[in-house]
Amino acid sequence: MVLNVNRYVCGYCGACVAVCPHCALELVETWLEIGSGCTECGICVKICPVGALSLDEVKA
């Protein structure tokens, strides 16, 4: 699995960054970066208020 962010949906609020146990996300103004430390745990996916994050088979 791989974590994808749909940047057309993201509201750049940083809630996902706050809950990532591995510090794998970084919000650069309106641009959410997914770093290499992601373990695909899915916590951030559930937290995102607009549903911009998803765990998929392939990298979007």
Partner 1 sequence: MIDTEYDVVVVGAGPGGSITAKNCAERGMKTLMVEKRQMIGDPVRCAEGIAKHTVKKHIEPNPKWICAEAKGFRIFSPSGIKVEMVGEFGSGEVGYVLDRKLFDRALAHEAARSGATILVKTRATGLLIEDGKVCGVELEHLGKKFCVRAKVVVGADGVESKVGRWAGMNTSLKPRDIETCAQALVYDPSADQEFCEFYLGREIAPGGYAWIFPKGEGCANVGLGILGSFSDAGAPFNYLNNFLKKYLPNAKILEIIVGGVPVSKPTDGIVGDGIVLVGDAARQSDPLTGGGIGNAMEAGAIAGEVVSEAISEGDTSAERLREYEERWFKERGKKLMRNWLVKEHIMSLSDEELDKLAKSIADVKFKGLQLYELLKHLLRRNPKLLWKLKGYI
Write out the E strands in 1-60: 2-5, 25-28, 31-34, 53-56
Of 29 and 58, nearer to partner 1 (C-beta) is 29
Distance CA 51, CA 39 (A): 19
- The distance of closest approach from Cβ of residue 58 to ligand SF4 in the complex, given in angstroms and rounded to an integer, is 16
SS3 assignment, position 46: helix
Residue 46's binding partner among partner 1, ligand SF4, none (Cβ under 5 to 8 angstroms by kind) is partner 1
| 60 near ligand SF4, judged by CB under 6 A | no
Q: Which does 54 bind (CB under 5 to 8 A by kind): partner 1, ligand SF4, none?
A: partner 1
